[in-house]
Chains A and B, each alone.
Chain A
Amino acid sequence: MYPARFEYFAPSSVDEALSVLERYGDEAKVLAGGQSLIPLMKLRFASPRALVDLNGIDGLDELYEDNGMLNIGALVRHKACERSDLLRKRYGVLADAAPQISDPIVRNRGTVAGSLAHADPQGDWGSALLAGGGQVQVRGSDGTRTISLDDFFLGPFTTALEPTEIVTWVQVPEPGPRSGGAYFKLERKVGDFATVAVGVHVSFSNGKVERAGIALTGVGPRNLRAESAEQALAGHELDDEAIGEAARLAAQAAEPRDDARGSAEYKRNVVRVFTERGLRKAAERREKQ
């Protein structure tokens, strides 16, 4: 199973990478972990003329907090997130999602930013990061722009990224001291895509919900935010009634389809159950801080 021929570039800086993209436009693809792109190229769903491998660029594998923002570089692998104490302590929704992505060998290689750029509606990072209020920093030859993930995902495998741009950083606002999150995923077996998954992140203030982020995987043409459920929670205590209502609204926001992984009705119900569990877990994790 050979991919079509391509010119290979291994730039040592983002600027150098951008100059290749300028030259080839939409005939070039950016390669980070390659765990989605290489399978696509082997199947010839993608046949770029040029491949721009980011792996030789220094500094893009960093994961750190700075100025109120968590920064995840374009070469941060799923495995680094799985092992990060910082994520475990402060970003429950991300820490939960990381070890549930694909399998351990793929996680050694695949990246967070690459997963977002691939924009598979069944991708886990999209929902985990939407719940956390995430955004991407994108570099083009004209400079840097920031795109919220809400605006970044346009549809299945489609993003707001221009062919001449690179996602250099993924960012999540630092949660306040009283916050918690969780990611629940149902998969048929290790390495399968989600039948359904739900990411939840809640910040509290004076015992009430200040901001709730709820996002759904595998039940729509892109990672979906359950905005009505988020809004219903804001300003309220996270009691049984509020949790039940938010779970109902999240299930309503889902756009599931019947497929080999389950019926639409079943998936909608899993959204409800996972939203409820996610919110309870988020509250529990807040208590522990």
Chain B
Amino acid sequence: MTETATEQAVYTKQLNVTVNGQARSAAIETRLLLVHFLRETLGLTGTHIGCDTTSCGACTVLVDGTPLKSCTCFAVQTEGSEITTVEGLAPAGGLHPVQEGFHEEHGLQCGFCTPGMMLTATALLAENPNPSETEIRWALSGNICRCTGYQNIVKAVQYAAAKMREGS
């Protein structure tokens, strides 16, 4: 019994992170992947699990502003970080320009890849407010859409870029 408790302590860490602007803390298993922490521990199911093999980008989230595949990162590694998921994109009662772009330009069909696409696009626009079509396609090349909707996804990002430049 004590052995079990010790064992548990060895494989458990207290994690403190900020998710979508909110401080979150939980005791987690060290082997817990970031995507499972977000979906199961915090109940933020907007982050999707696609391939689970670092290929598709559906699970992309921003960690300190940088896109990463949350199926390929242990949650414990994000201690002290600021994490943004799709739930954190929109201001209260509105849409983020990237979300508006996907809505206006029909940038999704089934929607499964959309959260990852939008977060990668958000990071791109934070760095490059006026990307060319090639730069958009290059930036999104780690996110796969199985509905073959890339044409409209690119348009959605261009829409968001224009909208954000207008607003700034």
Contacts and interface: CB of A to CB of B under 8 A. Distances in A.
Interface of A: 1-8, 10, 31, 34-35, 38-39, 41-42, 51, 53, 55, 102-106, 108-109, 190-191
23 contacts: A1-B52, A3-B31, A4-B31, A5-B30, A7-B11, A7-B30, A8-B74, A8-B76, A31-B77, A38-B33, A38-B54, A38-B73, A39-B54, A41-B31, A42-B52, A102-B142, A104-B139, A104-B141, A105-B67, A105-B143, A106-B142, A108-B68, A190-B141
Contacts of B54: 35, 38-39, 106
A34 B73 contact: yes
B60 A6 contact: no
B30 A51 contact: yes
B97 interface: no
Nearest to B119: A105
Interface string B57-84: 1001000001111011110110100000
A6 B11 contact: yes
A55 B73 CA distance: 12
Interface of B: 10-11, 13, 29-31, 33, 52-55, 57, 60, 66-69, 71-74, 76-77, 79, 120, 138-139, 141-143
Given A1-B52, A105-B68, 18 more contacts: A4-B31, A5-B11, A5-B30, A5-B31, A6-B11, A7-B11, A8-B13, A34-B72, A35-B54, A41-B31, A42-B71, A53-B77, A103-B57, A104-B120, A106-B142, A190-B141, A190-B142, A191-B142
Contacts of B72: 34-35, 38-39, 106, 109
A6 B31 contact: yes
A3 to B, nearest CB: 5
Contacts of A8: 13, 30, 74, 76
A45 B121 CA distance: 34
A35 B73 CA distance: 8
A2 B69 CA distance: 16
Q: Is the interface of B mostly helix, strand, loop or mixed?
A: mixed
Contacts of B52: 1, 42
A38 B69 CA distance: 11
B31 A2 contact: yes
Contacts of A4: 31
Contacts of A31: 77
Nearest to A53: B77
Contacts of B30: 5-8, 51
A191 B57 CA distance: 11
B109 to A, nearest CB: 20
B66 A108 contact: yes
A51 B32 CA distance: 13
A4 B30 CA distance: 10
A5 B138 contact: no
Contacts of B74: 8, 34, 38, 51
Which residue, B11, B72, B76, has most C-beta atoms of chain A within 10 A?
Answer: B72
B77 A105 contact: no
Contacts of A3: 31
Contacts of A104: 67, 120, 138-139, 141-142
Contacts of A53: 76-77
A87 B162 CA distance: 33
A192 to B, nearest CB: 9
Which residue, A2, A31, A104, A191, has most C-beta atoms of chain B within 10 A?
Answer: A104
A105 B142 contact: yes
Contacts of B53: 39, 42
Nearest to B57: A105
A4 B74 CA distance: 12
Contacts of B31: 2-6, 41
